[in-house]
Structure formats: C-alpha cells, structure tokens
Structure 1
C-alpha cells in the first residue's frame, strides 16, 4: 500500500476529507514539484480549485510558465478526486492525456475540477452494465477571472468494477 493510500485511509479519522485532500496534495513531494497548489476543496469533494503561480521555479527560457508545470499541476487531480468520490468498489486509472497550449502564460493560472452527483451516478450505472468504461475530463488553465485560456488538458480515465478488474488481470 502506498504512503498516499495509507494517509487516505487513516487521515479521515483525524481530519475532514476535504482538508485532508487539500493539505495532502499541497504537502506531497510529488505535487509540490509541479509548483501548483490546491486552494479550495468543497466539503463534498465535488469541486476543487488549484492555482499555479508563476515563479522562478517554473519560468521557462522565454519567461512564461513551463508547460511541464502546467501539465503536472493538473494531471493527478481528476483521477484522485474520482477515486475519493466513487468509493472502494472501483478501480480508477489515468489512461491517457493530451495537452493543448493556447498561449504563453506570464501570470498566475487557475483550474477548476468538478464532478456532479449526476455524473457519478451515470458512471456507476454504466459500470454496472459494462463493467469497465472510459470517461473524458477536460481541465482549462485560465487567468484568475476566467477571461483568458492558456492551456487545456484532456484526460481519459479508466473506471472498472473492482471484482471484474481483478478477474480480468487473472486471465491475462
């Protein structure tokens, strides 16, 4: 079991889930290196906001935010968010990602991540029928007031019934 899974298992006994999510990400060496910071997490974990401040740690040769920082600051959130929302009866994996740079970022960037209760229910229903599915989440890195788009990240996330997934692995 990874250190992150242990924290997710034990942590809620001490902290609320949304605070554990926020501070767990922000103190994690894996996420700190991206230079992104989780700034808001709703109590139900359905909505998350992150900030990618421009700094000497992530400026590239042309003085804008390095594309790798843009990607790594948003990469883990949709998957980990879904794992925490959907429960332990499912396997959730990142399957693929595409990044689309729209313009150089020379200011702080922000991204919002959300799932709706309806979306979660649709995922559960589809898995009950098909046993495994792929969903697509698109994250936009914008300026603070949301008027300028700098980057889009399209993630394909694999979700499966845990029992089905274990049986599938045995067959291979």
Structure 2
C-alpha cells in the first residue's frame, strides 16, 4: 500500500501515507509544507488539502468489503478552519463494527451513500480543514427487481 506514495497525485502534492493498520481500517497521512504545495500567501494550497483526504475511506471500504461490492468516491465538501502551515496530519478510520453494519445494510438494500468526516490537523493538534467524503457502496450481484417487488408487496424492512 505504501507504493501509493509514488502515485503522481500524492507525489506531486507532497502527501505521504505514513501508517496503515493491519486490518486496513485506519490510514494515517501527512503532508509537509513545501514550495510546490503552498499557495500565494505561503500556506498549504487548498487542492492539496483536499487531495490529502481523497481516496482513503474508499480504500478502507474496498479492502474490508471485498470484490463483491462496488465502492466509489461520489462527492466531497471541504471547510477551511485556519491556515495550514508546517506538517499536517490526518487519520482516516472506519471501525470493524461500522463496516459490518455497512455490509449488512448493503446486503439488504443493495446500494447506499455513506458520509465520513475527517479532520486535517496541524502540528499543534488544531483542526486546519474538515472534509466530508461521500462514498457510494453497491453490492455487485444485488437483485434490485426482487427488492422492488418486495417493497410493492409491503414485505421489506428498509433501514432509514
């Protein structure tokens, strides 16, 4: 997984994957302030801050749900809280119990969007940026026609 540090979007922004848990539920990423990732006023460029948060929740779900599921990043919202200076860090985590709930729900309803929020922190532990990531999850072989028939018959218990 650490080979991702050589992927051009990561390498070109100075983003570095530092830690991955053995169960692939937690990723820790850092980004140092460099001449090539700072903006006109000398702080971290906003696009680099977003890139720092982009693929990790999708990776966690892909690794833990397996090949029977389609997992795609769908949307994001970014909120800048304070100027980003120095080395920034972000930890991405989805618990095993939450992954189990997602699998169970998708097995029942076929597809759904999930929103995860991450916080990019500076060296003092203060939040620089918050990012909401929307991740689409779908079961590959789900029978949506059968679900519709069950709904019409009033036989389903769809989670809210």
Q: Structure 1-normalised TM-score?
A: 0.79
Structure-2 separation of matches of 1:28 and 1:131: 32
Structure-2 separation of matches of 1:112 and 1:76: 12
- Please tell me whether the aligned partners of residues 89 and 161 of structure 1 are also in contact (alpha carbons under 8 angstroms): yes
- Matched with 2:102 is 123
Q: Larger % of helix: which? A: 1
Provide runs of 4+ in structure 1 moved above 6 Å. Answer: none
Paired residue secondary structure (1:73): helix
Which of these residues, 40, 44, 57, is aligned with residue 65 of structure 1?
44
Aligned residues: 145
CA gap of 1:166–1:80, structure 2 versus 1, over 3 A, is farther
Paired residue secondary structure (2:89): strand
Q: Displacement, 1:33?
A: 2.1
Gaps of 5+ in 1: 1-20, 168-172
1:132-152 CA deviation, whole Å, 9 max, x = no partner? 111111111002352x11001
- Matched with 1:36 is 15
Gaps of 5+ in 2: 146-160
- Matched with 1:158 is 136
Structure with bigger gyration radius: 2
Q: Displacement, 1:24?
A: 2.1
CA-based RMSD: 1.7
Q: Structure 2-normalised TM-score?
A: 0.85
